[in-house]
Structure 1
Amino acid sequence: MNDFLLAQMVAAERLPNAHESKAAVLLELKSSLAGASGEQRTATLLKRELDLPGETIFLNDVHIPYKDGTAQIDLLLIHEQMVCVLEVKNMVGEFYFDSVNFQFHRIIDGRREGMRNPEAQLHRAVRAVSNFLGVPVHGVIVLASRSGKVVEAPKQYPIVSLDYLPFHLERLALGSKIFDVTALASKVEQLPQQNLSRHWFARHRIDFNALRPGVTCPDCRILALDWQERKWLCRICGFHSRDAHKVTLQEYAVLFGESLDTQLAYRLLGVENKYTLYRLLKTAAPQSNVRGKRRIVEDRDLLRGYFGKIYR
């Protein structure tokens, strides 16, 4: 789970049902989860089944500089014999690639749905990686779902099922060592992280005031927990914990950054006593060099663990 997917999960959980963007947020989260699942299955299969000599490095969800922006790469494979961009599609239905007008649509449950053309996305990504690394780059569209069927295939790039992907990539290998795997991977890994959340929040009109505050009960996920007798307590299911607020702090950090205004922290955690607040924030969000500001200690694994139980 990258930070953008985590941000979508937090927004979906904390936006009230009455918010104008709640339905759109849930729909986009569903799409992002399907995509992430397909990419994870693809990487897992390749690491297990791909039979190539030497080292193979897989980089997922990378953003390569391209013209005035960036190109998003689902999965980038770097091997001493080849570099390949994988455009992973975890979709169902019948797929039609119009190579005359460069459009794409699918038929699902008898409905025709126009969508972004995976071939055009892949072409842009391949050009970006090739220009950035200065090497020739292959491209493959990967069907991660067995419930997808290609009726009209793309013309410029191959589209293969996930089961066949390792064999397809092995056939692309040139047979001789021509790339420095470590050097190419290092160049990509040194790129700055992209913050996709800010534009997404603005588009959906999400800010702190739009979100439900408080420390969420991880069991019933209905009400905010109460701080009583030095522990968090759920009035509905009886859940109790001493550090449940740490997940809430990570939720805030993934949405708005690690800098937390002390006065805002009262509303965020739902506490009123300053000594209680300072005790809760002492290690998880210690005071910064700026008066009235705290610095949340990053620990995304807390969020991944929390949401991993929800979105299995």
Structure 2
Amino acid sequence: MLKKERKIPIKILKLEALLRRLPANHVRRKYIEEELARSYSGYRGEQALDYYVAQIPGKDHLIFQDLRLPFSKDYFFQIDLLLLTQRHFLILEAKNIAGTIFIDQNQLVRTIDDAKASYPNPIHQAENQQYHFGNLIQNHTNLILPNTSFVVMTNSNSIIKPNPDYRAVAQKVIGPPVIRPRVSRFYSEYQKDIIEKKELQKLSRQLIKMHTPSDPHIIEQFQIEKNEILPGVFCEECEQRTIIRLQRRWRCTQCGKVDDIRFIHALVDYCLLMGPSITNQQCRSFLQLTSSSISSKLLRSLHLPYTGEYKNRAYHLSIKELQKWL
């Protein structure tokens, strides 16, 4: 049973918005594009898990995709895919890395065309997730569940090089087609229920409540000043900031297309990059409107919650709520 579904990470949405609203010759554009490519690669690798996990027989396991949980006040651990039952739990960690892969105790080394790159040991990463999640269950139920984890190399162009001095590679690192038999084998080893079904459902609700998606401050991460973010409303056809407000309609000055909801896409970008609060004056500037009365009317038309009155009023933006208008 799918309890938590994977969604496109907010980081990817923010990186895309940032690239849309930076000048083409911006000095940091290359680094942002590289970060977006890495983020998409990781996301696609995680999606590959979902397809193969759906093939695992049995309906008594709870499936959590992309779960980020706290292990202390200010620190979190992230699980790509969690399978939780009354008898055990199992963690799958996705790695979408192409090339020849060699793993030792200290690192993963990827080789492509004689070029080498090193990454943290993913087996340790998955085992750390096991440790933290086991502690979390014990803290909430006072029970210890049998558990294991696998690192799934989801890229079809990856070749795992054996390491006879590090047996964990053969035991823990697998390809997606091996997910079903490995999980089924682990399930067969533990048949005794440890957590009651009612307690498991309660734990499931607690996990979803504790889930805290990563929400990085992208413009701060790349040291972008707010005044470098390009304002305006993009035309879907021209892909340029050429839509303006004319006679109560939004019209592209380049192709003539009328689109009365594209300004909402601009507000989504504002929320992703600038933050979830916007004033009338900020809205007027970002949408490049001719008067504050127009921006005020547009904000009110979206029925946004707000705090303050008159010139001090700030409207609260939500990606989820804005997307309902699209």
| Structures share fold, TM-score greater than 0.5 | yes
Contact 1:226/1:232 (8 A) holds in 2: yes
Contact 2:68/2:76 (8 A) holds in 1: no
Contact 1:74/1:86 (8 A) holds in 2: yes
Cα separation, 1, equivalents of 2:87 and 2:76:
26
Cα separation, 1, equivalents of 2:270 and 2:280:
13
Cα separation, 1, equivalents of 2:238 and 2:200:
47
Cα separation, 1, equivalents of 2:77 and 2:316:
32
Q: Which aligned pairs between 1:187-266 and structure 2 lie closer than 5 A?
A: 187-191=206-210, 193-198=212-217, 200-266=218-284
Contact 1:246/1:284 (8 A) holds in 2: no
Q: 5+ unaligned residues in a row in structure 2: which ranges?
A: 1-7, 139-143
Going from structure 1 to structure 2, the CA distance change for 1:78 and 1:112 (only over 3 Å counts) comes to same
Cα separation, 1, equivalents of 2:79 and 2:73:
15
Partner of 2:5: none
Cα separation, 2, equivalents of 1:285 and 1:214:
22
AA partner of residue 194 (structure 2)? I
Contact 1:230/1:242 (8 A) holds in 2: no
Q: Which aligned pairs between 1:23-172 and structure 2 lie closer than 5 A?
A: 23-47=30-54, 49-66=55-72, 69-99=75-105, 102-134=106-138, 135-136=144-145, 137-152=147-162, 155-156=167-168, 158-172=172-186
Contact 2:123/2:172 (8 A) holds in 1: no
Are positions 1:277 and 2:295 aligned together? Answer: yes
AA partner of residue 209 (structure 1)? N
Of 127-136 and 29-38, deviating more is: 127-136
Pairing partner for 1:294 from 307, 312, 315: 315
Cα separation, 1, equivalents of 2:219 and 2:90:
32
Cα separation, 2, equivalents of 1:213 and 1:3:
21
Going from structure 1 to structure 2, the CA distance change for 1:161 and 1:32 (only over 3 Å counts) comes to same
Cα separation, 2, equivalents of 1:250 and 1:98:
44
Contact 1:285/1:297 (8 A) holds in 2: no
Q: TM-score, normalised by structure 1?
A: 0.86
Q: Which has the larger radius of gyration?
A: 2
Aligned residues: 301
Cα separation, 2, equivalents of 1:301 and 1:22:
27
AA partner of residue 315 (structure 2)? R
Contact 2:11/2:215 (8 A) holds in 1: yes
Q: Secondary structure at the match of 2:323?
A: helix
Going from structure 1 to structure 2, the CA distance change for 1:117 and 1:236 (only over 3 Å counts) comes to farther
Q: Secondary structure at the match of 1:163?
A: helix
Going from structure 1 to structure 2, the CA distance change for 1:67 and 1:191 (only over 3 Å counts) comes to closer
AA partner of residue 296 (structure 1)? L
Cα separation, 2, equivalents of 1:274 and 1:293:
14
Partner of 2:27: 20
Q: Secondary structure at the match of 2:234?
A: coil
User: How much has 1:245 moved relative to structure 2?
Assistant: 1.1
- Structure 1 residue ranges (4+ consecutive) displaced by more than 4 angstroms after TM superposition: none
Going from structure 1 to structure 2, the CA distance change for 1:175 and 1:207 (only over 3 Å counts) comes to farther
Of 69-78 and 21-30, deviating more is: 69-78
Going from structure 1 to structure 2, the CA distance change for 1:220 and 1:177 (only over 3 Å counts) comes to farther
AA partner of residue 50 (structure 1)? I
Of 173-182 and 269-278, deviating more is: 173-182
Contact 1:140/1:158 (8 A) holds in 2: yes
Going from structure 1 to structure 2, the CA distance change for 1:33 and 1:76 (only over 3 Å counts) comes to same
When the two chains are superposed, the root-mean-square deviation of aligned CA atoms in Å is 2.5
Q: 5+ unaligned residues in a row in structure 1: which ranges?
A: 307-312
User: How much has 1:190 moved relative to structure 2?
Assistant: 1.6
Are positions 1:177 and 2:196 aligned together? Answer: no
